[in-house]
Amino acid sequence: MLIGQKVDFSYKGAEYTGTFISSSDDAITVKLGSGYNITLNRDSFKVIKEYPPESMEKDSLTEINQECGEDGICILTTGGTIGSSVDYKTGAVKPVKDISYLYNFVNNIDQFKLYHENIENMLSENVDAGKWLTFARKARDAMKKGNSVIIFHGTDTMQYSASALSFMFEEQTEPVIFTGSQRSSDRPSSDAFLNIEGSIHFASMEMGEVGISMHTGTSDDSVSLYRGTRTRKMHTSSRNAFISIGEPCMAKYSNGKVSQESYIKKPSENIVLKDRLDENVGLIYFYPGMRGEDFYNLSYNKKAVIIMGTGLGHVSSGILAVIKKLSKETAFFMASQCIYGNVNMNVYSTGRDLLDAGVIPLGNMLAETAMVKAMYILGNYPDDLNKLMKTNMKGEIEEIVR
Amino acid sequence: MKIGLEIHFQLKGNKLFCSCSTEGTESGSAFQRKLTPVMGEMGMVDSAVKYENIRNREFLYRVSSNSCLVEKDEEPPHPVNTEALNTAIAISEALNCKILDYASFMRKIVIDGSNTSGFQRTGIIGMDGYIQTSGGPVRISTITLEEDACRKISEKHGRAEYSLDRLGIPLIEISTEPDIADPEHALETAKAIGHFVMSMNNFRGEVDSIRQDVNFSMGFGRVEIKGVSKLSFIKDTLDYEIKRQESLKEISDLFHGKPPEIGDFIDITDIFNNTGSSMIKKAITSGKSVMCARLPGCNHLMKYGNYRLGRELADVAKNMGIGGLMHSDEFPAYGLTGEELSQIYSAARKMDEDAVIVVIADRDSTESLSPLLKERMNKIIKLDLAETRAATTNGETRYLRPLAGKERMYPETDIPLIRITEDILENIKSMVPKSLDEIKKDLIKKYKLSSVEAESIINNNLLSLFMSLSDGFKNPSLLSRILLQVMPEFEKKRGTKLTQEEIRDILGVSISGGNIYRRDDGIKSIIGIARSRGWDRNTLELALSLYILNAIPVSELEKRPELVPLNEAEIRGIINELSEEGQLNEKNLIVMFRKKTDHSFDPRLVMRIFTEMKKSDKL
């Protein structure tokens, strides 16, 4: 039987008509006339009649993958929940081909010139430094034509990608806005529609930065723009999972209007993209009883390691010994597992010992951001690693660390 | 005539896809959402779904104590509630259905806001069964297990308000084929299905726990009537719908199936600059316009005799949030003067045979209303009456939306398939409810009740209470008398129903079962006191009377002197007093005696003593 083929069958003595959907080793799924799918054991399902397969209706949605035009907003899709839909026949997740249905409900959508280019179709856990470079180069190409840029991205690692582009674009002429959704866009309740609406309005601002456009709260009444380097996904599933850590959001969108909430950098005259990243960087989460050899293996041969220490920035004395051993080859930086607040290694003796061993505290910088930043600095300014890590470049750190 | 039923009933315990309780109260917080029509799995947007979107509404959800992130649509569903699943399987067995090898859940798109997700999760458990009725078997097409929707609190100004308390309550839907012959038969079928439902231990049993949808067709398309709240309304609702369709058939015949063209709306706000109608004045002040349109040839069809074309059109306006649609058949009304009316009619260019409709709304709404009115008029005159209607609380129906199609169903990918194993089926056997006939026979045999008593217990929904009590109580016929006669009689005298707490005081238990002599907190019940005191039936009934009618607390009942039955000497004394006061005979004895004393007494003993005293000439 072919997927979508009409079939008469019997089950436990009664006869039915349905559409074949799928089968596994044990079971067969058919769709009844009522629209319900039912799944039956293979051996209790008897085919009575197979109808000739209908000429499969052509997918009316032909793939739209235009190059970005000029002076509009270029939407780059990379996959993730927002740009995917379930193929109900096979159960596979496919990229949405025509994304216009995602934003056609936006009021006054005609006033925006929107282009769409699909550059990837991946779950965001599979995004890596190589992909950040691709995203950045595509964004640069779009900006060169006078477009601001919206990137549809899976939410899981959006904060890493946004940080990477924040650092790599030393100067930018247009805003680059990441957006995504926590509920897939094939659900009527999806947050995608409002998040995109917000991102379109944020992309129309005077702004030379990278931001993240996601729901402000659980209600469908406001979207916030968060700074790419200071944002974290703080909930596995809720709409308001994204939040700026320790600072207000950059702007809010509500009822068709954008309001600025904190400092936003103006656009530059030129684009400066530093598209080199050195991936030889580690991110280590310290835990009680962590074995020195495990820490050693994770850090060995790395150019830089970001430690997520406890509290104000601590690790056990056993780990301290390993750091001392490796600190000639590897630069160690300290961020906190607490997520909120500053690292301060002057309060307790452990902290002071770590400072003596050469560990550099990173203030209130998020550990994930720090890791991406280290890749960028090692790729472009390897000699200034220690100094630049402590310097505020893209709003990633409050400069209280001297 | 073809009639089919869809009966929905709620289960109590936990919700279907999370561990929240089915019972809860409001918590005070709220959030707001919108819903967007999306494509079904075949790439089409369902017509019912599209229609809702035209309404472009906002939804406000009130958070209840029995809700979590699942109800807020902020978290994927948890695994299915197995107790609810088992109940659905048991009901399917009882109604002779084929149980599917797997339970698989679908998303049924519903964007009227009643589900935060924009869809209802629903799965078929059993198919292809039947139920016996006096008119022959009525086939059951499917039994589904689904989540209940939010409870609607209000709807105004394009914003609907819902509570999350009902969302996710397990709901079993039993759908019949259109095998039902007439409204009477529909009522019987619903009752028969209702019996199975109510005999489940976890049937929720609240006011709104059973809802019926009625599918009806008399040749002009299938009408789905949603939410017939009471069994007794099924017949009224169907009778109303038959009349409605008959009258629309007459109207269609008058036009020979060729729909009249509704004119465009004309702004007539200026006519009312100095109007005396406070309603219109208020609307104009709030920025609304008064608009009218001509309906050629519709004079005396809008609301005249059996004709109600006006209401058919008003329903469309109402669904768009436009409060009133007035028409010429009801004029003069709403405080309109004759002068204003003639101005309206001349603006609309009304001829004698025409009708005029008037709406008060903002211009944009009226603009989107116009094509919908034309579409509805076309459908009606072409007698394509298929649609979804809502049952009203007075046994009528009104237009809700187009029929939903299969385009709105797609798989719930967040819930894995659940295999219905042989083990599950075996375990469920003891849960399968018995048919009414079987239960009646059991009652008669086990408790030696009369056939009438057995039937009354079943018909008055007292079965589960009786069963839970009878095992702990030695005298089933007294129990049946208390349940069927004594308690209802006191309820009637008092004018209010007994509360759950009162039933607990009297019978020791709530419906959940247990010891009849003590409440579950250990305090003696009235029945318990009766046993330890050796009260006879009359004393017990007097005690119940004191408790129910005079609000004497249970703890004081034992101390009441009138509950100590009169002894022979006391009875003799009263009889003596009575005979001195006047004529006393066997016929008036007990009545006179009762008037004389508050105390309990055994009438047979009184009669015996009276006869003895008479014989021995002591009177």
pLDDT in tens, B185-235: 999 999 899 888 888 889 998 888 899 999 999 999 999 999 887 888 899
Residue B104 · residue B77 · CB < 8 Å: no
Residue type, A284: I
Q: What is the rounded end-to-end Cα distance, in angstroms, of chain B?
A: 74
Q: Is B301 helix (H, G, I), strand (E, B) or coil?
A: coil
Q: Give A281: exposed, middle or buried? Use CB within 10 Å, 0-12, 13-18, 19+.
A: buried
Q: A39 vs B104: CB contact, 8 Å cut-off?
A: yes
Residue B244 domain-assigned (yes or no): no
- Same domain as A199, residue A172: yes
Q: Which amino acid is at B139?
A: R
Instruction: Please tell me whether residues A133 and A208 are part of one structural domain.
Output: yes
The enclosing domain of A44 has a CATH number of 2.30.30
pLDDT for residue B106: 94
β-bridge mates for residue B130, sequence order: B139
Say if the Cβ atoms of B102 and A86 lie within 8 Å: no
- Residue B245 has what pLDDT? 96
Contact B36 A35 (CB under 8 A): no
Domain match, B72 and B213 both:
yes
Residue B61's closest chain A neighbor by CA? A219
Distance from CA of residue B206 to its chain's centroid?
Answer: 9
* Nearest-CB residue to A37 (from B98, B106, B128): B106
Known active-site residue A233 = yes
Q: What is the pLDDT of residues A29-82, one digit of tens each?
A: 999 988 899 999 999 999 999 998 775 554 444 445 567 889 999 999 998 888
Last residue of a domain, one of A208, A240, A273: A273
**A293 Cβ partners below 8 Å, 6+ apart?**
none
Contact by Cβ (8 Å): A309, A334: yes
Question: Which among B101, B116, B407 has CB closest to A189?
Answer: B116
A39: chain B residues, CB-CB within 8 Å: 100-102, 104, 417
| Residue of B32, B57, B63, B73 to mutate, interface with A, max A Cβ within 10 Å | B73
Has residue B480 been placed in a domain? yes
CB–CB of A237 and B107 under 8 A? no
Which runs of consecutive H residues, i.e. helices, occur in A214-314?
292-299
Task: Provide the mean pLDDT of chain A.
Answer: 91
CB-nearest partner of A36 from B72, B109, B409: B409
CA dist A292 and A318 (Å) reads 6
Considering only alpha carbons, which residue of chain A is nearest residue B115?
Answer: A189
Residue A238 has its nearest CB partner, among B74, B111, B408, at B74
Query: Where residue A247 sits, what CATH number does that domain have?
Result: 3.40.50.1170
In the annotation, is A179 catalytic? Answer: no
Clarify whether residues A209 and A268 are in a common domain.
Answer: yes
In a domain, B108, yes or no: yes
Q: Integer distance in angstroms from the first to the last C-alpha of chain A? A: 71
3-state secondary structure of B185: helix
Tell me which chain A residue has its CA closest to the CA of residue B34.
A220
Q: Do B100 and A218 touch (CB under 8 A)?
A: no
User: 3-state DSSP: chain B helix, strand, coil percent, rounded to 5?
Assistant: 40, 20, 40
What pLDDT, on a 0 to 100 scale, did the predictor assign at position A60?
Answer: 44
Same domain membership, residue B69 and residue B16: yes
Indicate whether B463 and B341 sit together in one domain: no
pLDDT at position B472: 65
- Phi first, then psi: give them for residue B8, nearest 5 degrees: -110, 135
CA B125 – CA A188 distance, rounded (Å): 26
List, for residues A199-250, the tens digit of each pLDDT value.
999 999 999 999 999 999 999 999 999 999 999 999 999 999 999 999 999 9
Indicate which residue of A19, A78, A155, A369 is catalytic: A155
Q: Which of A98, A128, A141, A156 is catalytic?
A: A156
SS3 A306: strand
Tell me: the pLDDT tens digits for B519-534? Answer: 777 778 888 888 787 7
Q: Are residues B524 and B611 in the same domain?
A: no
| pLDDT tens digits, one per residue of B72-92 | 999 999 999 999 999 999 999
Residues B359 and B444 in one domain: no
Tell me which chain B residues have a C-beta less than 8 angstroms from the C-beta of A36: 106, 122-124, 142, 144, 409
Whole-number Å distance between alpha carbons of A140 and A158: 18
State whether A77 and A175 are in the same domain.
yes
Q: Is there a single domain that holds both residue B306 and residue B330?
A: yes
Distance separating alpha carbons of residues A32 and A18, to the nearest angstrom:
5
What's the one-letter identity of residue A356?
Answer: D
pLDDT surpassing 50 at residue A402 = no
Pair A225, A111 in one domain:
yes
Measured CA distances, B33 to A217, A218, B39, B59 (Å): 11, 8, 19, 5
Give the pairing type, strands B105-109 and B409-411. antiparallel
- Whole-model pTM: value is 0.80
Mean pLDDT lowest among B39-53, B81-95, B294-308: B39-53
Does A179 lie in the same domain as A106?
yes
User: How many beta-carbon pairs below 8 A join chains A and B?
Assistant: 120
How far is residue B206's CA from residue B210's CA, in Å, rounded to a whole number?
Answer: 8
Chain B residues closer than 8 Å to A16 by CB: 127
Where a domain ends, among A229, A257, A273? Answer: A273
Q: State phi, psi for A136 to the nearest 5 degrees.
A: -65, -40
Chain A residues whose beta carbon lies within 8 Å of the beta carbon of residue B35: 188-189
Q: What value of ipTM does the predicted structure carry?
A: 0.90
| Alpha carbon distances (Å) from B4 to B1, B238, B345 | 10, 11, 45
Between chains, do A218 and B31 touch, taking CB under 8 Å as contact?
A: yes
Amino acid at A311: G
- Closest-CA distance of chain B to residue A237, Å: 5
How many structural domains are present in chain A? 3
Residue A107: CB atoms within 10 Å: 9
| B255 in a structural domain | no
Residue A94 and residue A35 share a domain = no
Alpha-carbon distance B538 to B559, whole Å?
17
Average pLDDT, chain B: 88
pLDDT of residue A66: 67
From the candidates A233, A252, A373, A394, give the one annotated as an active-site residue. A233
**Cβ-based contacts of A188 with chain B (< 8 Å):** 35-38, 49, 109, 111, 117-119
Distance CA A341, CA A363 (A): 8
Closest CB to B43: pick one of A60, A221, A239. A60
Do B124 and A35 make contact, defined as CB atoms within 8 angstroms? no
For residue B68, name the pLDDT band (cuts at 50, 70, 90): very high
| Binary contact (B127, A44; C-beta < 8 A) | no
The CATH number of whichever domain residue B270 belongs to comes to: 3.30.1360.30
Structure confidence at residue A93 (pLDDT): 63
A268 and A288 within one domain? no
pLDDT computed for residue B55 by the predictor? 55
Task: Give B564-612 pLDDT, tens digit per residue.
Answer: 888 899 899 999 888 888 888 888 888 888 888 888 888 888 999 999 9
Q: Do B186 and B316 lie in a common domain?
A: no
Contact B409 A187 (CB under 8 A): no
Assess if residue A156 is contained within a domain. Answer: yes
A9 CB burial (10 A radius; 0-12, 13-18, 19+)? buried
Q: Which two tokens stand for residue B491?
A: 């309820």
Question: What is the domain range of residue B336?
Answer: 266-382
Residues B121 and B166 in one domain: yes
Active site residue A17: no
Count: domains in chain B: 4
- Range scoring the smallest mean pLDDT among A115-124, A149-158, A163-172: A115-124
CA–CA gap between residue B246 and residue B220 (Å, rounded): 10
Which of the following is catalytic: A81, A179, A231, A350? A81
Inter-chain contact B35–A188, Cβ cutoff 8 Å? yes
Residue B366: per-residue pLDDT: 86
Kindly state whether residues A122 and A161 are assigned to the same domain: yes
Digit-coded pLDDT (tens) for B532-554? 877 878 888 888 888 988 888 88
CB contact under 8 A, A61 and B43: yes
Q: For residues B300-315, give the mean pLDDT.
A: 93
Give the largest CA-CA distance in chain A.
81
Q: Which of A213, A245, A273 is the last residue of a domain?
A: A273
Half-sphere exposure of B168 (CA within 13 A, CB side): 32
Q: A326 — phi, psi (to 5°)?
A: -95, -10
pLDDT value at B53 more than 70:
no
CATH at A305: 3.40.50.40
Average pLDDT over residues A265-269: 96
Q: Which residues pair with B2 in a beta bridge?
A: B217
The percent of residues above 70 in pLDDT, for chain B, comes to: 94
pLDDT digits (tens, 9 = 90+) for B249-284: 999 999 998 999 999 999 999 999 888 888 888 889
pLDDT tens sequence across A130-142 = 999 999 999 999 9
Residues B216 and B290 in one domain: no
pLDDT at A92: 60
Do A86 and B117 lie within an 8 Å CB cutoff?
A: no
Whether residue B301 is contained in a domain is answered as yes
Nearest-angstrom CA–CA distance, A326 and B405? 67
B118 vs A36, A41, A187: nearest CB = A187
Q: What CA–CA distance (Å, rounded) separates B303 from B231?
A: 29
Q: What is the pLDDT of residue A64?
A: 52
pLDDT of residue B541: 86
| Phi, psi (deg, nearest 5) at residue A201 | -70, -40
- pLDDT-derived band at A91 (thresholds 50, 70, 90) equals low
Strand partners, B390: B226, B398
Please report whether residue B547 resides in a domain: yes
Of A129-143, A332-346, B73-87, B100-114, the range with the lowest mean pLDDT is B100-114
Both B209 and B120 in a single domain? yes
* B512 pLDDT above the threshold of 70: no
Task: Tell me the shortest Cα–Cα distance from B169 to chain A, in angstroms.
Answer: 20
Nearest to A9, CA basis, from A36, A34, A43: A43
- Rounded Cα gap, residues A148 and A206, in angstroms: 10
DSSP state of B54: H
Position B349 in a domain: yes
For residue A333, pLDDT beyond 60: yes
Closest residue of chain A to B54, computed from CA coordinates = A105
Q: What is the DSSP letter of B486?
A: I
Q: Which residues contact B347 (CB under 8 A, 6 or more apart)?
A: B266, B268, B271, B292
Are A286 and A265 in the same domain? no
pLDDT score recorded for residue B551: 87
By residue range, what is the domain housing residue A34? 6-50
Q: What percent of chain A shows pLDDT beyond 70?
A: 92
Domain membership of residue A395 (yes or no) is no
User: Minimal Cα–Cα distance from B150 to chain A, Å?
Assistant: 15
Distance CA B91, CA B200 (A): 8
Q: What is the rounded CA–CA span in Å between residue B74 and residue A235?
A: 10
Do both A33 and A169 map to the same domain?
A: no
Claim to verify: residue A39 and residue A153 sit in the same structural domain: no
Instruction: Of A63, A80, A182, A74, give the one whose Cα is nearest residue A121.
Output: A80
Look up residue A351 and give its amino acid.
G
Domain assignment present for residue A314? The answer is yes
Residue B54 pLDDT > 60, yes or no? no
Q: Measured between CB atoms, which of B74, B124, B144 is closest to A239?
A: B74
Contact between A41 and B107 using a beta-carbon 8 Å cutoff: no
Tell me the pLDDT tens digit for each residue of B414-441. 899 999 999 999 999 999 988 888 888 9
B17, B33, B124, best to mutate vs chain A, most A CBs in 10 Å = B33
pLDDT at B314: 93
Closest CA to A178 of A124, A126, A221, A220: A124
Nearest CA-CA partner of B23 in B149, B169, B162: B169
Check whether B618 has a pLDDT greater than 90.
Answer: no
DSSP SS3 for A142: helix
Q: Specify the pLDDT at position A205.
A: 96
Our answer to whether residue A274 is catalytic in this structure is no
Q: Which chain A residues are Cβ-neighbours of B108 within 8 angstroms?
A: 35
Q: What helix, strand, coil percent values describe chain A, rounded to 5?
A: 25, 30, 45
Shared domain for B219 and B109, answered yes or no, is yes
Residue B422 belongs to some domain of the structure: no
- B499 and B588 co-located in one domain: no
